[in-house]
Each structure stands twice: as C-alpha cells, then as structure tokens.
Structure 1
C-alpha cells in the first residue's frame, strides 16, 4: 500500500465515528474515558465482545451480523487495516460495531474489570521464536489481563492455523489450571465445533483451507458463570 493511500486512510479514521484512537500516554495514565463506560458509547448494556488483532475486521463484522444483540469491538494497532472494517460497518449501518486502535498489551487499561463478555483471538502471529514469547497473545501475562477484564463465565476463543500456537496455549492453560471448554485440532474435518466458528471465515482462512491446511480452535473460561 502506497504512503498516500495510507495517509488517506488515517485521515478517514480520524473522521469515522466508529474508530476510537486513544493516545498511549492517555491510556497509561488511566485517563481513557471509555474504560468502565463502554455501555455509554453503544447506548445499551448488551454484552461486549472483543476481537484482538482484528486486522481488517472480517471476523468482527461477521459476528456482529450474526449476533445483533451483542456489541463488537475490533482491536488492532494498524490503522490502515481497521479502516476497511470501519468503512464497511458504516456503509452497512452496523451500529453494534466499532474499532479501537491501540496496542493489545494495554487491554486492561482500555476495559474495566468484568466489562467484557467474550474475547476472540483469530489467526494471531504465533511468534514462534523463543525471544518473541512475550508477544504471544496467550502467554501468562496476557491471560492475566484477559482474566481481569472478563465477566464471570466470560469466554476466550482462539482460532488459528498454527499447530504450535494451539499446542502452546493448551500447555499454558493446563499448567495454570485454567479449564479448557473445547479443543479441536482440525475443526473442518473432526466435527463438533460451534457453528459460529465454522460459519465465519477470514480471507486468509479460506486460503489455508484451499491448501488443505488444518484449522484449530479452542475456548476456555477463567470462572464459571
């Protein structure tokens, strides 16, 4: 993507009413105004669902169409990517969707305790090299952040083409005593996966399936409802 096109998208994001772009310093100081107040942004108390590392927001948009009674927030630091999802949401009148441009490492400063009901992590970078462990979205540090913002019984979903990421996450969960609700190494061939996991596919997921690459999925919850 050319620099001019990126600049135009950044300008568009600044004008889109469904794109929130807090300053990092603002968040670190605890001054982010929507923390503990996301219900006021959406104008209702419907459950809030996050997609972390949402990219173009394909999953966020698809889930929001399937579940109009929930509010969806796509989180990503790449402004040129979330532009696509935000623009589509505006054009299709999706009032239960917005996009938050921020680092995922700040997630516990962006949402208050118990404010989130579900978290989706779809096709994250597995960060295979050991020195990149701290960047894996299911390492212990991130899990503690998710635990802090999830409501009782809240669910975390991980859908990935990376067998390494799937296995790593299972190991972390088992080692930490966090119960796994569901786990499948090949959801399109083994059967039994939830419908919303099978019916929603990203562009890259379709590419993986065309090359006959297995897609894995697991879900877990820190506490019972």
Structure 2
C-alpha cells in the first residue's frame, strides 16, 4: 500500500464523522439520535467513493442526515475531510461491506438510498454483487421507511437495464426513469450533482441513466 493511502487510512481514524466496521454496530437504529444528535431523516449513499453525492446533498438539505458508505477508506477520506473542514455536521461516513447493511441500520431507519456510478459487476458470475440484485433490494426493503425511495444514477446501460428488469419483476413502483438524464426534463439541483467519474463520462458524450423507485 502506498504512503498516501496509509496516510489517509491513519487520518480517517481521527475523524469524528467516520465509523469503521464493528465500532459502528452500536449505532444501529440510533444514528440520528446518537451520532447526529437529532431526529431528522437518514439518507444513504452506497458505494460512495469520494462521497461527492453525500457531501453535496448534505449541503443542499441541512434538515436531513447523510451517510456515505464504502469499504475503501482512502476514498472515503476525501468526503470525510471535506465534511470536517467545512463543518458539515449532517454528514458522516461508514466503512463497511455493503452486504452487511442490516448489521448497522435498523428497520425503517432510512428514508432514501442513492447508488451513484457503482461498479456494474457486468460478469454473470458476479450478478449477486450488483447493488440492485434482488438480494440487496430485500435488504433495502427492511431499512427503508414505508415511503422510502431508491435512486440509481449510472453511465452503465447494462446495470440500468438490469435494474429496470428487476424492478418490473418485483412489481416495484417507478417514480422517475430516463436513459438520457441530461436530455430529459428531470434534471434539478439534486440530479445536477456530478461525481468525478460522471464528468469523465460526459466529456465522452456518454448518456447517463437514472431511475427512482420504491417498494410502496
């Protein structure tokens, strides 16, 4: 591991807005009261990378709490560092395996989930790793409030189409859907947030897919 990665791993251990692995299990069902010290809704960004969406959503919606989740601490460092430097108190990060979500959040604890430019896991043998695989969707069903929503924003047409298929198969409710986000009328201050990778894709004229759905 390079010196820069080692430095970042060491630094996130000192951040008050970062929790790692087992230490965060005590917050299950109590994130709002015990970490954020309020009773506001919880929103997750899964596979958050540098946390661009979580950071910008936290700035846009101070009345909500945001948690970016990823296993790679050197990536989380960027968003967490921004949160500390800018005093974004409604922002936290959690370094865990996403398949273990139910160990860290209680039933109906989460209002909304964002999946932004996650690894599409295109190989058939890795279907169960896709963050919209039915096994993951069932976990989200447990975590989300009765009107909770899931958002997928991706450049990957395969993951987008796969997600649409699973949403249809499971009879879920689609609220918004487009395979060309920036040519649609859906773009607002939230969907205009761009990650590092999204900017790269857009420079290559890649279409951006977006779908929002819920279990209700």
Question: What's the TM-score, normalizing by structure 2?
Answer: 0.96
Per the alignment, residue 213 of structure 2 pairs with: 220
Give the Cα separation in 1 of the matches to 2:113 and 2:190: 13
Question: Conserved in 2, the CA contact under 8 Å of 1:63 and 1:196?
Answer: no
Give the Cα separation in 1 of the matches to 2:37 and 2:131: 30
Per the alignment, residue 104 of structure 1 pairs with: 98
Q: Within 5 Å, which residues of 2 pair with 1:128-207? A: 128-189=122-183, 191-207=184-200
Residue 192 of structure 1 deviates from its aligned partner by: 2.0
Query: SS where residue 185 of structure 2 aligns?
Result: coil
Residue 113 of structure 1 deviates from its aligned partner by: 0.4
User: 1:58–1:205: structure 2 CA closer, same or farther, 3 Å change rule?
Assistant: same
Shift >6 Å, 4+ stretches:
none
Question: Conserved in 2, the CA contact under 8 Å of 1:162 and 1:216?
Answer: yes
Query: SS where residue 219 of structure 1 aligns?
Result: strand
Q: Within 5 Å, which residues of 2 pair with 1:26-41? A: 32-40=25-33, 41=35
Per the alignment, residue 68 of structure 2 pairs with: 74
Residue 198 of structure 1 deviates from its aligned partner by: 3.0
Query: SS where residue 198 of structure 1 aligns?
Result: coil
The answer to whether structure 1 residue 116 and structure 2 residue 115 are counterparts is: no
CA root-mean-square deviation: 1.2
Residue 196 of structure 1 deviates from its aligned partner by: 3.6
Give the Cα separation in 2 of the matches to 1:127 and 1:16: 31
1:127 aligned residue (115, 121, 128): 121
Query: SS where residue 207 of structure 2 aligns?
Result: coil
Alignment deviations for residues 94-147 of structure 1 (CA, whole Å, 9 cap, x no partner): 000000000000111110000000000000111111001010000000000000
Question: Conserved in 1, the CA contact under 8 Å of 2:42 and 2:66?
Answer: yes
Alignment deviations for residues 10-61 of structure 1 (CA, whole Å, 9 cap, x no partner): 11111100000123xx78xxxx110011112100011100000000011110
Give the Cα separation in 2 of the matches to 1:20 and 1:95: 15
Give the Cα separation in 2 of the matches to 1:98 and 1:185: 31
Gaps of 5+ in 1: none
1:85 aligned residue (70, 79, 90): 79
Q: Between Structure 1 and Structure 2, how many residues are aligned?
A: 215
Give the Cα separation in 1 of the matches to 2:20 and 2:152: 25
Per the alignment, residue 22 of structure 1 pairs with: 21
